[in-house]
Amino acid sequence: MGETSVTFGARPFTDACGCGLLRIYLCSGVGFPECCIPPGHHSCGHMGRLNWSASCYYFREPNAHKRFMEKLDARIRNHDREIEKMCNFHHQGFVDAITELLKVRADAEKLMGFTLFDLPLCKVTAQTEEVIRCRIQQRNMATTVEKLQLCIPGEMTWLYYSALKTMEQLENIYIPRVSQYRFCQIMAETLPKLREEIKEISMSDLKDFLESIRKHSDKIGETAMRQVPNTPPSQRPERRGSIIKKCSCNLVGFLFKVLTAQDLVDFSPVYRCLHIYTVLGDRETFENYYRKQRKKQARLVLQPQSNMHETVEGYRKYFNQIVGFFVVEDHILHATQGLVTRAFTDELWNMALSKIIAVLRTHSSYCNDPDLVLELKNLIVIFADTLQGYGFPVNRLFDLLFEVRDQYNETLLKKWALVFRDIFEQDNYSPIPVENEEEYKAVVSRFPFHDAEIEKQQFPKKLPMSQSVPQIYSQVKEFIYASLKFSESLHRSSTEIDDMLRKSTNLLLTRTLSSCLQNLIKKPHIGLTELVQIIINTTHLEHACKYLEDFITNITNVSPETVHTTRLYGLSTFKDARHAAEGEIYTKLNQKIDEFIQLADYEWGMAESDGRASGYLMDLINFLRSTFQVFTHLPGKVAQTACMSSCKHLATSLMQMLLDTELKQISMGAIQQFNLDVMQCELFASSEPVPGFQGDTLQLAFIDLRQLLDLFMVWDWSTYLADYGQPTSKYLRVNPSTALALLEKMKDTSKKNNIFSQFRKNDRDKQKLIETVVKQLRSLVNGMSQHS
């Protein structure tokens, strides 16, 4: 049996709510077992009070239609009863509504009559259309105002640029279309003010950005400089722009946050302000303002603190600020189109470079700590390498490093001057004793000492130099290491570094060590024994200079045969010190001799001598003997010179004693006693206290005294006067003035107790001879003065 469908048409129902304004239709579809009609919508505001449903069935047997109709009628009756109940419930409201409607109908009829008969229909229609048009305009205006709210400057500064574009479209496209309306004119007048507000707010953001950059430029620079030490100079790539990247911001202004070296700064205020001023056609004003402000900030950044030289942190903060400033400018240069130019950044950098160099020259000169100067050098190298990586020329900074290197060397020299002084003060100036092989190796490991004779000796033994020699040698090497630290990272060749090391070492030897040695030699507590040891020490240090040269060659890997290799001047330093020590030995020996001479107590009027040499002179000779025994370790010429100098000084002192103007009288007995003392001096000279003298060379130091005393002892005036002036004269070394001065001291001036009284008694002719000799001597003296 085929399927059959029944479709019910629309069936009208009376208003169930009693308002009389609504008809509800029940519609049924096909193919649904049962469906419910949605609630009806009443213009009176009632909703959902009726719930009608219709059912459709598929009829598969002949009586199905009849049964369906019966069920439908039953359902209709049920619904009718419900409607009747509902109408009874709302009957009074229904009646009231009908009454109101009747009143409205009467008023409507009056209005209709008035409209139809008092006003032209076309006029009503025109007003209606005008109202409709006004409603549409109001709706459009509301929409426009809503959209314009997005263009008004507020906290959402990222909409500035979009707002300007929107205003431009309004001004150029949309407003002209409706320009006849007054609100459009008002809007057109408001747009320039909005633009100025946007400019002001974006400029405020830029000022906040500039202030934040000024405060945090040291953090930016610190991050940039921190990347440099970890990369070898030859492997440092161009890092321009890699340090600066967008980080974070708020909607009002710039919010600085240090993240990493790759994520530091938010430049959106700059970009935004640049774009806004560009759109508004005022880019030049913005560029001039930005450059002017950055120049002011550059001057502030370049101004150092007054105590910057006291700590390395002061220098580090100074460099960080400068690097941060120029890293920002480099990023602006490459991230914007002409906000700053290469000429502008070059101008800033040249100005900054001159200021930096002047500041570093001044502050580094205040520093006396070599460690601080070394840290300053390292900072300058990192500073230069960082900025060089951003394309800034830094050759002048490396030239400045050579000046700083000189300052560093000066601080090193001052430091090592104290080191050398302490070593010399603690030295005992005695040969180094070594008890066993271990001690011997410990010494030679610090100082290159080689002596075959000493190596053959059995332990214990002594090394010729004192303990200061290996200490000085070790400290010179330490100085070379310290000097090398400054030469590192200067991008210089090995040859240049080798040359710098040698020059600085020469300064250490020729200035610092030489000065310390000279001062040491002049110290009052340094005696003859110490001076002798100093001479020995300087000799060994002089021989060790070649090992210092080899040491420098090894650490710089430069061949000693390289052209222009600077030689160490230590040879001259130690020679000069040795000569000064030798001269001081001669001086101290003479001083010691003078001390003994002052002890002399001659009885110048004695009748005859004691028959033995004076005690003071014997003590003096014993002192000289023991002293010259110490000189055995000195070079032969030094000992010989010291011995000769001592003998000459002794002879001169004795001669001056005889010719002293305060000595008025002298007896022949005193002459005889004096002669015994001179004989002891001659015996000392002939005993070869220092080996190496040929013949009677040392005795010749006393030849003047010997001939003078022989002349008076023998009383051989006739021979002296007869042979005077002859090269073969027996008394060739006796000067007439000397003989006259001594002879006058022997004249009878008091007429009593005079050595010539016996002559007058015994032989008056001899007294006349003395007078004659005196006259002749005076004649010789006068002749000499006339010839001179």
The whole-chain average pLDDT of the chain stands at 79
Q: How many CB atoms lie within 10 A of CB 291?
A: 17
Helices vs strands, H then E, count in the chain:
27, 6
Position with higher pLDDT, 364 vs 417: 417
pLDDT band for 5, please (50, 70, 90 cuts): very low
Give dist(CA 190, CA 185) in Å, integer. Answer: 9
pLDDT value at 286 more than 70: yes
Q: Over 80: is that where the pLDDT of 432 sits? A: yes
Q: What is the mean pLDDT of residues 530-551?
A: 91
User: Positive or negative CA dihedral for 510, 364, 488, 346?
Assistant: negative
The identity of residue 713, as a single letter, is: M
CA atoms 302, 306, 309, 311: torsion sign:
negative
Q: Which of 168, 339, 326 is nearest to 269 (CA)?
A: 339
Q: How many CA atoms lie within 13 A of 271 on its CB side?
A: 12
For residue 509, pLDDT beyond 90 = yes
Structure tokens at 325: 């400033």
Span 485-490, mean pLDDT? 83
Class of domain 600-746: mainly alpha
Yes or no: say if 234 and 215 are a contact pair by the CB < 8 Å rule.
no
Residue 787 is predicted with a pLDDT of 59
Give the pLDDT score at 687. 92
Here the tokens at position 564 are: 């222009």
pLDDT tens per residue, range 635-656: 778 889 999 999 999 999 999 9
Q: Which residue has the higher pLDDT, 370 or 761?
A: 370
Mean pLDDT to the nearest integer, 231-243: 43
Dist CA 438 CA 183 (whole Å)? 109
Residue range 29-61, pLDDT digits in tens: 333 333 333 444 343 444 333 343 434 444 445
Q: Which residues pair with 260 in a beta bridge?
A: 263
Evaluate if residue 8 carries a pLDDT over 60: no
The CA-based dihedral angle spanning residues 718, 721, 722, 727, taken in that order and rounded to the nearest 10 degrees: 130
Confidence of residue 323 (pLDDT cuts 50, 70, 90): very high
Is the pLDDT assigned to residue 448 strictly greater than 90? yes
Question: Rounded to an integer, what distance in angstroms lies between the CA atom of residue 572 and that of residue 578?
Answer: 10
Percentage of the chain lying above the pLDDT 90 cut: 35
- Which residue, chain included where needed, has tokens 């479209």? 169
pLDDT of 585-640, one tens digit each? 999 999 999 999 999 999 998 888 888 999 999 999 999 999 998 887 777 788 89
| pLDDT above 60: residue 249 | no
Query: CB neighbours of 403 closer than 8 A, spacing ≥ 6?
Result: 361, 364
Q: Is the pLDDT of residue 198 over 70?
A: yes
Identify whether the C-beta of residue 26 lies closer than 8 Å to the C-beta of residue 54. Answer: yes
Structure tokens at 634: 């000195």
The DSSP symbol for 24 reads E
CB atoms within 10 A of CB 492: 16
Q: Taking the C-alpha atoms of 658, 661, 662 and 666 in order, what is their torsion angle to the nearest 10 degrees?
A: 40
Give me the pLDDT at residue 786, please. 62
Backbone dihedral angles phi then psi of residue 446, each to the nearest 5 degrees: -95, -20
H or E segment to which residue 665 belongs = none
Any bridge partners for residue 13, and if so which? Answer: 24
Is the pLDDT at 716 greater than 70? The verdict is: yes
- pLDDT the model gives residue 46: 40
pLDDT of residue 112: 66
In 3D space, the residue among 705, 593, 703 whose CA is nearest the CA of residue 646 turns out to be 593
Q: Is 416 exposed, middle or buried (0-12, 13-18, 19+ CB in 10 A)?
A: buried
What pLDDT, on the 0 to 100 scale, is given for residue 161? 64
Q: Helix or strand or coil: residue 260?
A: strand
Instruction: With CA atoms as reference, report the closest residue to 471 among 427, 505, 508.
Output: 427
Both tokens assigned to 577: 């010190």
Residue 216 banded pLDDT, cuts 50, 70, 90: confident
Q: Decide: 414 and 516 in contact? Cβ < 8 Å.
A: no
pLDDT by residue (tens digit) across 95-154? 777 888 888 777 777 766 655 545 556 677 788 888 888 888 888 878 777 666 554 443
305: closest CA among 318, 323, 321, 292?
318
Cα separation, 237 vs 239, whole angstroms? 6
* Least trusted range by pLDDT, from 344-353, 491-500, 713-722: 491-500
Considering the chain, what percentage of its residues have pLDDT values greater than 70? 80
Indicate the Cα dihedral angle 258, 263, 266, 270, nearest 10°.
130
Least confident of 94-98, 665-669, 701-705: 94-98
Per-residue CA distances from 67 to 3, 10, 77, 404 (Å): 17, 21, 15, 120
DSSP state at residue 431? P
pLDDT, mean of residues 296-317: 89
pLDDT in tens, 733-751: 999 999 999 988 887 533 4
The structural domains of the chain, with segments of one domain joined by +, span 204-230+257-409, 410-581, 600-746
pLDDT score, position 244: 43
Q: Per-residue pLDDT for 379 more than 80?
A: yes
Q: To which residue do tokens 């040859």 refer? A: 495
Task: State the pLDDT at residue 254.
Answer: 32
* Spatial distance between the Cα atoms of 30 and 42, rounded to a whole number of angstroms: 27
For 538, 539, 559, 730, the CA distances from 449, given in Å and listed in that order, are: 13, 12, 24, 54
What kind and span of H or E run contains 463? strand 461-463
Among 126-140, 292-306, 544-558, whose mean pLDDT is lowest? 126-140
**C-alpha dist (Å) from residue 487 to 234, 322, 331, 384:** 17, 24, 33, 15
Q: For residue 764, what pLDDT is reported?
A: 64
Q: Model-level pTM greater than 0.75?
A: no
C-beta separation of 160 from 201 below 8 A: yes
Average pLDDT over residues 295-323: 90
410-581 CATH pick, 3.40.720.10, 1.10.287.3510, 3.40.30.120, 1.10.357.30: 1.10.357.30
Retrieve residue 749's tokens: 């001036």
Q: How far apart are CA 788 and CA 783, in angstroms?
A: 9
Helices 160-169 and 268-279, axial angle in degrees (round to 10)? 20
What's the pLDDT band for 281 if we cut at 50, 70, 90?
A: confident
Does 415 score more than 90 pLDDT?
yes
